[in-house]
Amino acid sequence: MGHRLRVITLLSYLLALSSGISAQVAAAIAYAPTLEPCPAGTTLVREVAHTQTLSSHEADYVSGRRSHVLPRSWANYLRNVQASTRTSLPSYVDAILLGSYGKDALPTLGIATSGGGHRAAIFGAGVLNALDGRNKTSVHAGTGGLLQTATYLSGLSGGSWLVSSLAQANFPTLPDLVFGPANADGNGFGGWLTQIDLLQPGDATVTTAFVTELIEEIALKRTAGFPVTLADVWGRALSRHFVNGTTAANFFDVTIPHGAGTTLSSVANTSTFAAHAQPFPILVADSLTSRTTGQVVTEPGNAVPLTNPIYEFNIFEMGSFDPILGAFTPTKFLGSPGDSVCATGFDQLSFIEGVSSDLFNEFNTSAEALAASSVGPIIAALEVLFPQPGIRLDAAEIPNPFFGVSKATFPDSDQELLALVDGGEDGEVTPLQPLLVKARDVDTIIAIDAPADTPDNWTNGSSLIATQNRVKLFPSTYSFPPVPSSANTFVARNLTRRPTFFGCDSPSSRGDPLVIYLANGGPPLGEPPLTNTSTNQLQYPPDEVQAMMDEVFDVATQGIPIRTHGGEVKDPLWPACLACAVVDRARRDAGISRSGICKACLERYCWS
């Protein structure tokens, strides 16, 4: 993000910092990790390359949610579908969702929400709102309540801003998340503040002071011995929008921490997480390694090979299920130099938001391109202020928790640092990988896909193609249903302009989930195009965001429009068809035949 901004010179930052970095601001103190002896019994690496297992914390979270929360969530959702549909659903839908086949036969739903800057964050928020059982309009439409049934929610880049801000703000409604609650104060979450540009919140003077402040806020992390890069500066900017502690009124107050100190691991302490009342959040980033231990496969036009590890960050662990690494480290001790000394406070949520959306390496195809970009002067300032020979300033640098792990296959096994970048840089812009992990047993996925692929900034399906290609590289770890192999097919068959189900007829031996695909491929019926804004747009007036979210509500609730004599209208059966898709894996596994409207629905919505 962030190309094509007005260029502010390096000189202005250095002048602003000429008195030396004081870095005694509250944010700098709260942002710096601390080093202490590790608590007795700490293990910093959990290997899963040979036996794929979840962390005990995640397993406990999921099982608590399944026992105490999901039975009621599924019953509520079912009631909403039934109330909105005149035709009755086959009895197996009720039976499965009401637990007649046991709670282990309830669907395990994951939702993945894509990258693509603010456009993708807003598109994702619009879809989640349409699935939210707390929104009466969504309940009335028959889609509300499904959000509450999800076990997992994954996000990357712009989608990571959505997923992480939602989790840490204690799972508010989507309008409260995006626009801020009516009673927002400086302590809780103040909304996304989209009206304020991420990197240029004012004129040149204001912007210079702002960026100078961001640089000061990372200084004590460097002093404590940790690498700092553009991802830290960027994360500190994102923190004002996607972490608690900032409102429009206190935006420029340099005496408050602006979300510094809020770590990913600390989200465990929000009351909704403690009550298992939100889907388990997962954020994704790519490895930028240029080392390799085998073949290299790259999706055409992408910066990062598909063969590079994909890292996930969750509240409990950071690491990768990719079999070339197959290891995790506790999130709360991320950044630790070794088994006896543990870092805490490295897992700043703002930093992880910055890692997941760090596209700056893409500017660095030539030194000139980087220098000419808006972040060129910030890079130059970092070079002068924090000399770190050999460090890539355009990537995020993390002390390697997996030093010496999986030596034969993990390309960074002998590296002191990991270089990480935006999770979509390998072409898999919708973060499906964590939901395909067999140990997670996700049987149904809602894939929300909103990258700018076409010249008009619509989606063309390439992200699902990248997932399909990557899964083929790791067949024993992941499985994914067949999708078209060309973006032309997605577009020509309108698969990006209507909900599409993939994998409807997979036998259980394939082990793949059923994927419910909702893409940003065009405006809904009869509406002007509002949701194909450029990824580079870093500022949105709230009324534009509201109009986009309202339009996405229609995208998520229209289904495949049906022709009537008066023209095309929303498919009145769509909510029922969605419910049919959601239970379809559970139906198959219980040995029941598809019947009634579910039979017709799947014929209509499945790609084969």
Instruction: Please give the Cα distance from 345 to 260 (Å, whole number).
Output: 9
- Listed in order, strand segments (DSSP E) in 114-180 are 152-156
Q: Does 250 bind ligand NAG (CB under 6 A)?
A: no
Q: Does 114 bind ligand NAG (CB under 6 A)?
A: no
Q: What is the residue whose two structure tokens read 């059982």?
A: 133
Interface residue with ligand NAG among 221, 392, 440, 587 (CB under 6 A) is 392
Instruction: Please give the Cα distance from 260 to 224 (Å, whole number).
Output: 16
Interface residue with ligand NAG among 80, 154, 170, 500 (CB under 6 A) is 170
**Chain residues 51-80 in contact with ligand NAG, contact rule CB under 6 A:** none
Q: Does 567 bind ligand NAG (CB under 6 A)?
A: no
Q: What is the residue whose two structure tokens read 């289904």?
A: 559
User: Candidates 24-32, 103-111, 434-442, 448-456 — which segment interacts with ligand NAG by CB under 6 A?
Assistant: 448-456
Interface residue with ligand NAG among 63, 87, 494, 593 (CB under 6 A) is 494
Q: Does 173 bind ligand NAG (CB under 6 A)?
A: yes
Q: Which is nearer to ligand NAG, 110 or 126 (CB)?
A: 126
Q: Which is nearer to ligand NAG, 301 or 507 (CB)?
A: 301
CB of 453 to ligand NAG, least distance (A): 3
Phi, psi of 318 (to 5 degrees): -125, 135
Q: Does 135 bind ligand NAG (CB under 6 A)?
A: yes
Contacts of 28 (CB under 8 A, 6+ apart): 216, 217, 218, 219, 220, 221, 260
**Chain residues 326-345 in contact with ligand NAG, contact rule CB under 6 A:** 332
Name the residue among 154, 145, 395 with its Cα closest to residue 288: 395
Phi, psi of 152 (to 5 degrees): -130, 150
Indicate left, alpha or beta for 261 from its phi (over 0: left) and psi (-120 to 50: alpha): left
Q: Does 368 bind ligand NAG (CB under 6 A)?
A: no
CB of 510 to ligand NAG, least distance (A): 26
DSSP alpha helix (H) spans, 440-568: 462-473, 487-492, 542-558
Interface residue with ligand NAG among 189, 234, 478, 607 (CB under 6 A) is 189
Q: Does 148 bind ligand NAG (CB under 6 A)?
A: no
Inter-helix orientation angle 117-130/158-168, to 10°:
50
Q: Does 487 bind ligand NAG (CB under 6 A)?
A: yes
Cβ burial 457-487 (10 Å sphere, 16+ → b, else e): bbbbbbbbbbbbbbbebbeebbbbbebbeeb
CB of 490 to ligand NAG, least distance (A): 8
Q: Does 262 bind ligand NAG (CB under 6 A)?
A: yes
What number of chain residues touch ligand NAG (CB under 6 A)?
47
Cβ burial 256-279 (10 Å sphere, 16+ → b, else e): bbbbbbbbbbbbbebeebeebbbb
Q: Does 232 bind ligand NAG (CB under 6 A)?
A: no
Q: Does 188 bind ligand NAG (CB under 6 A)?
A: yes
Q: Which is nearer to ligand NAG, 108 or 200 (CB)?
A: 200
Reported as type and span, the H/E element at residue 567 is: strand 567-569
Instruction: Please give the Cα distance from 264 to 483 (Å, whole number).
Output: 34
Q: Does 137 bind ligand NAG (CB under 6 A)?
A: yes
Interface residue with ligand NAG among 20, 301, 387, 389 (CB under 6 A) is 301
User: Candidates 76-84, 117-125, 477-485, 533-541 — which segment interacts with ligand NAG by CB under 6 A?
Assistant: 533-541
Which residues are near ligand NAG by CB under 6 A?
Answer: 129, 135, 137-138, 168-170, 173, 175, 188-189, 244, 262, 265-270, 301, 332, 364, 370, 379, 392-394, 452-457, 460, 462, 487-488, 493-494, 529, 532-535, 549-550, 553
